[in-house]
Structure 1
Amino acid sequence: MAEALKDEIVTVFGGSGFLGRHVVRALAKRGYRIRPAVRRPDLAGHLQPLGMAGQILPVQANLRYPASVARALEGASAAINLVGILAPTGRQSFEAVQAGGARAVAEAVKAAGIATLVHVSAIGADANSPSAYARTKAKGEEAVKAAMPGATIFRPSIVFGPEDGFFNRFAAIARMSPILPAFGADTRFQPVFVGDVAEAIARAIDGTIAAGRVYELGGPEIKTFRECLALVNRETARTRPIVGVPLGFAKTVARLTEWLPGAPVTVDQLLLLEKDNVVSAEATAEGRTLAGIGIRPTNLEAILPTYLYRFRKHGQFDARRIA
């Protein structure tokens, strides 16, 4: 049950996306007034039922246009930047969105005199990475720290949940393809539940965790790419062979196909798979994790069956569905 409405307005850049809708829900339950700042407010109607009447009001903003960012922050007491892309499209480049966009938000927050900023980056952010995605995530972090030293930064591993782009994607492939391709089959991930990430962000807005730190968010288990695909097979009641694809070969194919609409993978994404995507030992030792801030990470097995059942041959009526 939601708390009584508060006076504080929280601007959430990227509030209509996969993580955004869960963040908006977590904030709404706490009684905040929420201003999702998105490129297409007309497509953000799905956020309205997450709160009370008048509690959630989407506004237009594009991180490539600083004036729109400043307008979205007018009267706000806190801001969250969730904007990120997995592949560039048109003018939405890695540099423009993840580096320049993060800088624009942080500088606008500073100029508006807002004290609380939460920025979502990613495990693997590295200024020296061969991946443009990872390099621009690192540049975005540095820009945020330069403008707002007290900002809280979260670095999640692969985020899973009902609308995710990872398990849903490979479950769809399993439905159509005779095999499941494992690019970098032994690369390790630490999948983290979207609800846990949203709760961590909401606690940062509440001020109940230490600000000015970089938190690394991972689930309770570390899984290889191959093990993740095995879970897809199990939850979709399929037996697709999991075929390891060498990254070198995959890059060659990706260079020829990544420009096509709906390409399965890009060269940049394959570069990310050259390195494990797990919480560091330093973050664990220093308490900069979900457990460190008092959140018990949710298991994959507790959530995957609730949304991957639709990829089974007979969907929710499949006799082999796990109850």
Structure 2
Amino acid sequence: MTEILQIPKLVVVFGGSGFVGRHVVRALAKRGYRIRVACRRPDLAGHLQPLGNVGQIQPVQANVRVRWSIDRAVQDADHVVNLVAILHESGRQKFGAVHEFGARAVAEAARSVGAGLTHISALGADLNSASVYARTKALGEKAVLETISDAVIFRPSINFGPEDSFFNRFANMARYSPVLPLLGGGQTKFQPVYVGDVAEAIARSVDGKVEGGRVYELGGPQVLTFKQCMEELLTVIDRRRILAPVPWWVANLQASILGRLPNPLLTKDQVLQLREHNIVSDQATRENRTLAGLAIQPQSIGTILPSYLWRFRAAGQFQRKPAA
């Protein structure tokens, strides 16, 4: 009897060459999926190739602002994952164009080929938010569910992991500056989530193990203030720094200046975001729309941070902790 060869499903990952993307691609590759990574610069996505077998991962050019490139990227797809987002506006990369228009375009393209959709939003997405980032993220969610009613939407808190732009940035700052700023006094609450846990949740949605048509909120096991995050960071890199509270009006003034830089350290919109807590809601917890509800045990920053922040210690990996 002739056996029929089962061709692995094709998953298209928009934004798959970024920080979260590489972990998502790794999780999907381990499951044996064929992966098409849609990104603006496929020539810079070579770091993804070792994550799978030969020919399993294929980078292609696509831009969520250009509809025809999206349609081309999703051809023959079984499932589509949209990770594309920006933290600040630059040139034609505007919040509305990427978070709202791009989200709708990807959803419409996925619907046209009959593919499932997993969309990555962010905790804090709110149609009534003062932050343009948070507002357009919510508009993107709305566009997705209007287009594909059974799409899966994930809202992660701050992602941490080896290539993150949060703990790495402040750890690098601590190497040169005797002071670390605490915007608004550092009392804003976060629920940092390990990027590997987020990737696992996304991979399970591709497996069909996550109920569609719902918005899931992904946070880690700890709720920490901004100040506590900095204290944990300094403990890991074994450095002593002054944690200086910065009033909101001063933060706004700094953002008005820093926001003009090509790759700004702080923008006015980010200051608005930092005024709001970034934690999983009680309602999501009650309705099991969390990592725990997906049977994923979230990992803490105390477990993961030392594995990649050791390079910011004065003596790197060879630095020893003083005897207790």
- Relative to the length of structure 2, the TM-score reads 0.96
Describe how 1:257-272 pairs up with structure 2 within 5 A: 257-272=258-273
Going from structure 1 to structure 2, the CA distance change for 1:5 and 1:232 (only over 3 Å counts) comes to: farther
Secondary structure at the counterpart of residue 310 of structure 1: helix
Does the 8 Å contact 2:254/2:266 carry over to 1?
no
Letter in 1 for 2:170: F
Work out whether 1:128 is the aligned partner of 2:109. no
Residue identity in the other structure for 2:150: G
Using the TM superposition, name which of 241-250 and 290-299 deviates more. Answer: 241-250
Q: Tell me, yes or no, if the aligned pair for 1:118 and 1:153 is still in contact at 8 Å.
A: yes
Q: Is the partner of 1:57 in helix, strand or coil? A: strand
**Which letter does structure 2 place at the counterpart of 1:148?**
I
Query: Across the two proteins, how many residue pairs are aligned to each other?
Result: 318
Q: Where in structure 2 are the equivalents of 1:268-307 lying within 5 Å?
A: 268-307=269-308
1:167 corresponds to which residue? 167
The answer to whether the Cα contact below 8 Å between 1:309 and 1:321 also exists between their aligned partners in 2 is no
1:317 CA drift (Å)? 1.5
Aligned-partner residue type, residue 146 of structure 2: A
Structural mapping, 1:64-213, within 5 Å: 64-114=65-115, 116-184=116-184, 185-213=186-214
Query: Which residue identity is paired with 1:244?
Result: P
Distance in 2 separating the partners of 1:264 and 1:222: 24
Provide, for residues 190-210 of structure 1, a one-character-per-residue CA deviation record: whole Å limited to 9, x for no partner.
Answer: 000000000000000001121
Whether the 8 Å CA contact 1:5–1:32 is kept in 2: the answer is no
Is contact 2:152-2:210 (8 Å) kept? Answer: no
Taking structure 1 as the reference length, what is the TM-score of the superposition?
A: 0.96
User: What residue is the counterpart of 2:56 in the other structure?
Assistant: 55
Same amino acid, percent of matched pairs = 57
Which letter maps to 1:303?
I
Partners of 1:250 and 1:40 in 2: CA distance: 34
Which consecutive residues of structure 2, in runs of 5 or more, have no partner in the other structure?
none
- Secondary structure of residue in 1 paired with 2:314: coil
Task: Please report how far the alpha carbon of residue 256 of structure 1 lies from its aligned counterpart in structure 2 after TM superposition.
Answer: 2.3
Partner of 2:37: 36
Alpha-carbon deviation of 1:6? Answer: 4.6
In 1: Cα distance, 2:36 partner to 2:230 partner: 37
Distance 1:202 1:5, change over 3 A: farther
CA distance in structure 2 between the partners assigned to 1:168 and 1:94 by the alignment: 24
**Equivalent residue letter for 1:22:** H
Tell me, in whole angstroms, the C-alpha distance in 1 between the residues paired with 2:319 and 2:77.
Answer: 48
**Structure 1 residues 246-255 or 13-22, which shifts more?**
246-255
State the 1:257 CA deviation. 2.6
Residue 53 of structure 1: CA displacement? 0.5
Change (3 A) 1:321 1:262: farther
Contact conserved, 1:6 with 1:32, CA < 8 A, in 2? no
Residue identity opposite 2:160 in structure 1: F
- Range that drifts further, 245-254 or 187-196: 245-254
How far 1:211 moved relative to its partner?
Answer: 1.3
Question: Are 1:35 and 1:58, in contact at CA under 8 Å, matched by a contact in 2?
Answer: yes
Gaps of 5+ in 1: none
Q: CA deviation at 1:248?
A: 1.8
Shift of the alpha carbon at 1:266?
A: 0.7
